[in-house]
A = this chain, B = another copy of it.
Amino acid sequence: MINVRCNVGAILLDGKKMAQDIRKELKSRVQSLADERGRRPGLAVLMAGDDPASKIYVRNKIKACEDLNIYSELHALPHDVPQADMLILIRELNARDNIDGIMVQLPLPPHLPAAEVTETINPDKDVDGLHPLTMGKLLLGQETFLPCTPMGILEILRRSDTRISGKEAVIIGRSSIVGKPLALLLLKEDATVTICHSKTENISGVARRADILVVAAGRPEMVTEDFVKEGAVVIDVGINRVGGTIVGDVNFREAGKKASAITPVPGGVGPLTIAMLMRNTVRSAEMRLARQAVIMHPNPGGG
A positions within 8 Å CB-CB of B:
115, 131-142, 165-168, 174, 176, 180-181, 183-184, 187, 190, 192-197, 199-201, 206
- In the assembled complex, the Cα of A176 lies from the Cα of B138 at a distance in Å of 10
CB distance from A302 to the nearest CB of B (A): 24
Bound CA–CA A192/B132 (angstroms): 24
Sample of 11 further A-B pairs with CB below 8 A, known A135-B140, A136-B137, A166-B201: A132-B137, A132-B139, A135-B135, A138-B139, A139-B176, A139-B180, A180-B187, A187-B195, A192-B199, A192-B201, A194-B194
Pairs across A and B, CB under 8 Å, 7 listed: A136-B137, A166-B200, A166-B201, A180-B184, A183-B183, A192-B194, A194-B194
A140 and B194 contact, Cβ closer than 8 Å, known pairs A166-B200, A166-B201, A183-B183: no
Instruction: Kindly list chain B residues whose C-beta atoms are within 8 Å of the C-beta of A199.
Output: 165-166, 190, 192
Q: How far is the CA of A174 from the CA of B189 in the complex (A)?
A: 12
Q: From residue A122, how far is it (CB to closest CB) to chain B in Å? A: 14
What residues of B have a CB within 8 angstroms of the CB of A183 in the complex? 183, 195
Task: Name, among A136, A165, A168, A183, the residue most crowded by chain B CB atoms within 10 Å (CB to CB).
Answer: A136
A142 partner residues in chain B, CB cutoff 8 A: 115, 132
B-side contacts of A195, CB under 8 Å: 183, 187, 192-193
A198 to chain B, nearest CB (A): 9
B196 touches A192 (CB 8 A): yes
Please indicate the chain B residues that have their CB under 8 angstroms from the CB of A181 in the complex: 139
Q: Which residues of B contact A197 (CB under 8 A)?
A: 187, 190, 192
Dominant secondary structure at the A interface: mixed
Shortest C-beta distance, A184 to chain B (Å), equals 7
Which of B131, B141, B168, B206 meets A192, CB within 8 Å?
B206
Q: From residue A95, how far is it (CB to closest CB) to chain B in Å? A: 21
Residues of B within 8 A of A135 (CB): 135-136, 139-140
Question: Once bound together, how far apart are the Cα atoms of A165 and B168, in whole Å?
Answer: 22
* Residues of chain B contacted by A131 (CB below 8 angstroms): 136
CA distance A204 to B137 in the complex (A): 31
Q: Bound complex: CA of A204 vs CA of B297, how far in Å?
A: 57
| A193 CA to B141 CA, complexed, in Å | 20
* B-side contacts of A115, CB under 8 Å: 140, 142
Chain B residues, Cβ within 8 Å of A136: 131-139
Which residue of B133, B167, B187, B196 contacts A133 across the interface (Cβ within 8 Å)? B133
CB distance from A140 to the nearest CB of B (A): 5
Interchain CA distance A137-B130 in the complex, whole Å: 11
Closest to A203 in B: B192
State in angstroms the CA–CA spacing of A174 and B186 once bound together.
12
Please give me the 4 A-B residue pairs with the lowest Cβ-Cβ distance, nearest first: A132-B136, A136-B136, A135-B136, A190-B199
